[in-house]
Structure 1
Amino acid sequence: MIRKSIGLLAGMLVTVAVYAAGVQLRADHPDSYTVRRGDTLWAISARFLSKPWLWPEIWQANPQVRNPHLIYPGDVLDLSFINGGPSLRLEPAVHREGDAIPAIPLDQLKPYLKDSRVVDPDAVKNAPYVMGFEEGDLTGTSGRNIYVRNLNAQPGQRWAIVRPTHVFRTYGGSESEESDDMAANLVDSDVATTRTPWNEEWQTDLGRATPNHAFRGKTLAMEVTVIGQAEVLRGGDPSTLLLLSSIMEVRAGDRLMPIDDNPYDPYYYPHPPKTLPPDGRVIAFSLERLSEVGPNDVVVLSIGAKDGVDNGTTFSLWQPGEQMPDDVAHDSWTRYSHKFVTLPDEYVGHVMIFRTFDRVSYGVVMDGLKPVKVGARVKMPE
């Protein structure tokens, strides 16, 4: 089936001539581009525009564009200049359903779309839990029975088995805020993801971990990973469930939550926030024990749906300025006489939100000049 939707890119480039004050073509834009499998809308737009997150505004000025996501591998956009004006030639290809180009590389983000959830810590604490296994097994494997406490369910119902992985907190804070925090005794962002079950041994193990001052803020939410799925065989307390599948061994203390059947919608637009949420920060990385990340890596932000953040919201990331001694104004040879000055924040890159929760969100670093570190501030994408 021939798709004419490639016209949206053509319209985008034509309209640039009119709206050049707000959106500008890159000086090094190519004369033509063939859409390839694995491309994303951001990457394609970045080849032509100096500000890729503005392409929706341009497309909205072209009423013939109905769905900017219907761009397909093989479509060719030819851009040349004749007598100082743009001349466009479109070469649409034959497309297969399901091959439309997404806004960002979804294949790399599947674990965060299906396998991870961010919920209130109390919801995890009070959820039904695995107490034991068939024939006294120490762990649960697919095809075996598991026994669950506090589950109100009927035979045939299916449940997700989850395991806590991180507690997300506001950046900074004081020790007093952390000391009376229930979630602090469960799992922490500066502790390895894989942990023993939710029991006293686990809490003691976490209590021995060296605290990270960056995470002594107020608790925002808890991340859990879906590790399996089970079906209720018999109700009661404990209930008997058949473990249908799992990506790792199920342990006593793992929690049960309803299966999330809501499909992830990849069809959204990059856009700047309507208003800048106060003190939005990078508070965690997807990869454990890294001190910094770069393009295509996933970061966790301390802002979410309640702050007006939705899929496609694009921010710039700025690393807080370091403190440097002013040895000119103060004698550097005299001990303890240094006057420290806070340097200006430094721009490091752009981040686009691809999944939001109430108080936190997942974003992917789209580009950057410098590595992104925990504590980076979010600002308007300009």
Structure 2
Amino acid sequence: MIRKSIGLLAGMLVTVAVYAAGAQLRTDHPDNYTVRRGDTLWSISARFLSKPWLWPEIWQANPQVRNPHLIYPGDVLDLSFVNGGPSLRLEPTAHREGEAIPAVPLDKLKPFLKDTRVVDPDEVKHAPYVMGFEEAGLTGTPGRNIYVRNLNAQPGQRWAIVRPTHVFRTYGGDESQQSDEMAANVADSDVATQETPWNEEWATDLGNVTPNHTFRGKTLAMEVAVIGEAEVLRGGDPSTLLLLNSLMEIRAGDRLMPIDDNPYDPFYYPHPPKSLPDNGRVIAYAQERLNQVGPYDVVVLSVGSKDGVDNGTTFSLWQPGEKVPDDVAHSSWTRYDHKFVKLPDEYVGHVMIFRTFDRVSYGLVMDGLKPVQKGARIRTPE
């Protein structure tokens, strides 16, 4: 059990006891480390701990220290032994430069914190939509009027303009209703190459969106990108709105949703899951052109707040083992006579959740031994 204690000396020196049984110090840990620009609490902790997601156990603040993220470039971390046990001491610099070191690289997360949402597809389908533009234009640009149908709003209200981008589905269907034997009959590599079937009516209604290469299965949610903001000038049907700003030209069929004034939490405290959700998988990548991803890439997981997942929840990722023929036990000339054996799952890395929705979460791959592929399973980090 980790004993959490911290002492504040002259308002500048913080010392925290760390016991190997809990924090598990790395055998090759350095005696000291000077914090550099570009470091994160995760990367720093990885130099001392075999489980870097346990950094809150080290920088556990007392009531006098409100923010445990207050580690700056130039600060020195010194690992020493007090009374036979290891302790980690932080020696701040006299003149701090720049901003405090974040828990994770926030620049990798910003597009998914403010400009992206995950909602129920029905919410998108029935949302108010852009149907026309000032002077019969084909698209909308900032400073000009747009016309919106089915909008119940008062003059002066502002609305976000969104465009559907991805449909997220469970991996290979609702596997919770399948037996292990049935699921084993379909190779994971076969399932992972299937595209989600797309309803043409939906494609027309939602701006000719094509789905990303997600998996067959039950629909979980739809991702939309916030591409602009508009203010209501006059109510009615259609309503008249002034387009205030946009990341791209606004098209007929783009949807309107309320502005989210508090889209994300800027601080993250890595921690193991309270309980492991059933059949959690990597179901999509942030950059769909990639075939596999690695550290500091964003992935989408098929678990969310309704599964007990919150910001900072850290999982290990395991790639399902492939099915290969046992040529030793079955030496038949024909491939179909071979007995196929499923190889063990392989550990590939860690992922930390940084934004959650009901049934879907965005996670940042923190480290890895191998590339992360779609279909990778989540487990409790070890």
Aligned counterpart, 2:270: 270
CA distance in 2: counterparts of 1:3 and 1:110, whole angstroms: 36
Aligned counterpart, 2:75: 75
Partner SS, residue 27 of structure 2: coil
Q: Provide, for residues 36-93 of structure 1, a one-character-per-residue CA deviation record: whole Å limited to 9, x for no partner.
A: 2322111111111110112223444977764321222222223356997658664312
Aligned counterpart, 2:124: 124
Partner SS, residue 275 of structure 1: coil
Aligned counterpart, 2:230: 230
1:1-382 matches, within 5 Å, as: 4=11, 7=14, 10-11=15-16, 15-16=17-18, 19-60=19-60, 66-80=66-80, 90-94=90-94, 99-173=99-173, 184-185=198-199, 198=206, 202=208, 206=210, 215-382=215-382
CA distance in 2: counterparts of 1:146 and 1:5, whole angstroms: 56
Partner SS, residue 279 of structure 1: coil
CA distance in 1: counterparts of 2:201 and 2:43, whole angstroms: 37
Query: Which amino acid in 2 is paired with 1:360?
Result: V
> Do the aligned partners of residues 62 and 157 (structure 1) sit closer, same or farther apart at CA in structure 2, a change above 3 Å counting?
closer
Contact 2:169-2:218 within 8 A present in 1 as well: yes
> Do the aligned partners of residues 238 and 68 (structure 1) sit closer, same or farther apart at CA in structure 2, a change above 3 Å counting?
same
Higher mean Cα deviation, 81-90 or 129-138? Answer: 81-90
Partner SS, residue 143 of structure 2: coil
Contact 1:319-1:372 within 8 A present in 2 as well: yes
Query: Which amino acid in 2 is paired with 1:149?
Result: R
Partner SS, residue 365 of structure 1: strand
> How many matched pairs?
353
CA distance in 1: counterparts of 2:376 and 2:173, whole angstroms: 15
> Do the aligned partners of residues 97 and 236 (structure 1) sit closer, same or farther apart at CA in structure 2, a change above 3 Å counting?
farther
Partner SS, residue 336 of structure 1: helix
> Do the aligned partners of residues 224 and 278 (structure 1) sit closer, same or farther apart at CA in structure 2, a change above 3 Å counting?
same
Q: Provide, for residues 235-293 of structure 1, a one-character-per-residue CA deviation record: whole Å limited to 9, x for no partner.
A: 11101111110000100000000000015222231000011000000000001221110
Aligned counterpart, 1:191: none
CA distance in 1: counterparts of 2:12 and 2:268, whole angstroms: 16
CA distance in 1: counterparts of 2:223 and 2:120, whole angstroms: 9
Contact 2:108-2:297 within 8 A present in 1 as well: no
CA distance in 1: counterparts of 2:360 and 2:131, whole angstroms: 31
CA distance in 2: counterparts of 1:272 and 1:360, whole angstroms: 18
> Do the aligned partners of residues 89 and 146 (structure 1) sit closer, same or farther apart at CA in structure 2, a change above 3 Å counting?
closer
> Do the aligned partners of residues 249 and 315 (structure 1) sit closer, same or farther apart at CA in structure 2, a change above 3 Å counting?
same
TM-score by length of 2: 0.85
> Do the aligned partners of residues 264 and 83 (structure 1) sit closer, same or farther apart at CA in structure 2, a change above 3 Å counting?
closer
> Do the aligned partners of residues 360 and 144 (structure 1) sit closer, same or farther apart at CA in structure 2, a change above 3 Å counting?
same
Partner SS, residue 160 of structure 1: strand
Higher mean Cα deviation, 278-287 or 47-56? Answer: 47-56
Contact 1:72-1:95 within 8 A present in 2 as well: no
Partner SS, residue 284 of structure 1: strand
CA distance in 2: counterparts of 1:216 and 1:93, whole angstroms: 54
Partner SS, residue 74 of structure 2: coil
Query: Which amino acid in 2 is paired with 1:317?
Result: L
> Do the aligned partners of residues 337 and 266 (structure 1) sit closer, same or farther apart at CA in structure 2, a change above 3 Å counting?
same
> Do the aligned partners of residues 183 and 25 (structure 1) sit closer, same or farther apart at CA in structure 2, a change above 3 Å counting?
same
CA distance in 2: counterparts of 1:125 and 1:183, whole angstroms: 17
Contact 1:282-1:302 within 8 A present in 2 as well: yes
Q: CA deviation at 1:183?
A: 9.1
Contact 2:72-2:98 within 8 A present in 1 as well: no
CA distance in 2: counterparts of 1:353 and 1:322, whole angstroms: 27
Partner SS, residue 42 of structure 1: helix
Query: Which amino acid in 2 is paired with 1:129?
Result: Y
Query: Which amino acid in 2 is paired with 1:246?
Result: S
Partner SS, residue 22 of structure 1: helix
Percentage of matched positions with identical amino acids: 80
Partner SS, residue 43 of structure 2: helix
Q: CA deviation at 1:103?
A: 1.2
CA distance in 2: counterparts of 1:340 and 1:351, whole angstroms: 31
Q: Provide, for residues 207-254 of structure 1, a one-character-per-residue CA deviation record: whole Å limited to 9, x for no partner.
A: xx8x96x61110000000000001111111101111110000100000
Give 5+ residue unaligned stretches, structure 1. Answer: 175-181, 189-194
Contact 1:116-1:223 within 8 A present in 2 as well: yes
Q: CA deviation at 1:184?
A: 3.6
Query: Which amino acid in 2 is paired with 1:115?
Result: D
CA distance in 2: counterparts of 1:196 and 1:6, whole angstroms: 62
Higher mean Cα deviation, 94-103 or 365-374? Answer: 94-103
CA distance in 1: counterparts of 2:157 and 2:121, whole angstroms: 24
CA distance in 1: counterparts of 2:11 and 2:281, whole angstroms: 41
> Do the aligned partners of residues 230 and 94 (structure 1) sit closer, same or farther apart at CA in structure 2, a change above 3 Å counting?
farther
Q: Provide, for residues 110-150 of structure 1, a one-character-per-residue CA deviation record: whole Å limited to 9, x for no partner.
A: 10000000001111001000001111111111111100001
> Do the aligned partners of residues 338 and 4 (structure 1) sit closer, same or farther apart at CA in structure 2, a change above 3 Å counting?
farther
